[in-house]
Amino acid sequence: MRYFIGNWKMFGIPSSFKILDKINQYYLKDKKSNKKYKIVMAPPLTLLQDFSKRFKNKKILISAQNSYHQDNYGAHTGFVSPFMIRKLGVSYIIIGHSESRASGETEEIIKNKVSLALKNNFNVILCIGENQKQKRKKMTLKTLKKQISNSIMKKYNFRKIIIAYEPIWSIGTGKVPSHQELKKNALAIKKFIKQKYRLKFNPKLLYGGSVDKTTVGIFRSINELDGFLIGGASKSSKNFIDIIKNFYT
């Protein structure tokens, strides 16, 4: 099963459900959809309740983009907990996105977020990725391993965790890793997780960073990838559908 997960970031108003409607219609018409892939969309917090109701019995699953790292309720002005989001019928949550890390989210906070989200029965999409400097210094794998080890404990149910490998230098820049580089990193991430957490199955791994209808073609043949986390191109139904079409052609 492959995943096409859209991250709208700070985009969308109530009428933007029309974008998802079009994607949903495509999914319903596409004969391979049910067996081959899932679509998950992460609109901003303001749209979660409306979208999760609208798409409840449809084919698009709804994800939150973040959540608070402790408590169900508390004196935390401006924040919402996974407990509160789960009550909206939302079942996926993105944690540790590089944009959240850049605005002060530490690995300790991310660890707590993962833990609390799993306790609330979410599917966690955990983002990891190296920056330009770490890549230049050949510290990519070291960085990724540290990010994984510092956020995931042994006892976690890996069937509820999806790792999204998103090189920071690739997010929103139009730059993507070469086929060879991404395949190497994807293999290394999966191997590391399988060994470290003694898994009998392969963990799920997505790639994210400037995925569009053209770049997706470069990655089509990387079997280690279980799908894509798509930022900019998920804001247009046409661009998002073209990614899926081009992946399967």
Contacts with ligand PEP, residue ranges (CB under 6 A): 7, 9, 166, 171-172, 208-211, 229-233
Terminal CA-CA length for the chain: 17
Q: How many residues are given for the chain? A: 249
Q: Which is nearer to ligand PEP, 24 or 234 (CB)?
A: 234
Instruction: Specify the residue for token string 């990193």.
Output: 185
* Minimum CB–partner distance for residue 164 and ligand PEP (Å): 7
Amino acid at site 198: R
* Minimum CB–partner distance for residue 6 and ligand PEP (Å): 9
In the complex, which residue's CB is closest to ligand PEP?
A: 231
Q: Which is nearer to ligand PEP, 10 or 75 (CB)?
A: 10
The span from the CA of 44 to the CA of 39, in Å, is 16
The span from the CA of 60 to the CA of 97, in Å, is 21
Catalytic residues, by residue number, are 97, 166
Q: Which is nearer to ligand PEP, 93 or 211 (CB)?
A: 211
Cβ neighbour number for residue 133 with a 10 Å cutoff? 11
| Bridge partners of residue 208, in order along the sequence | 229
* Minimum CB–partner distance for residue 209 and ligand PEP (Å): 5
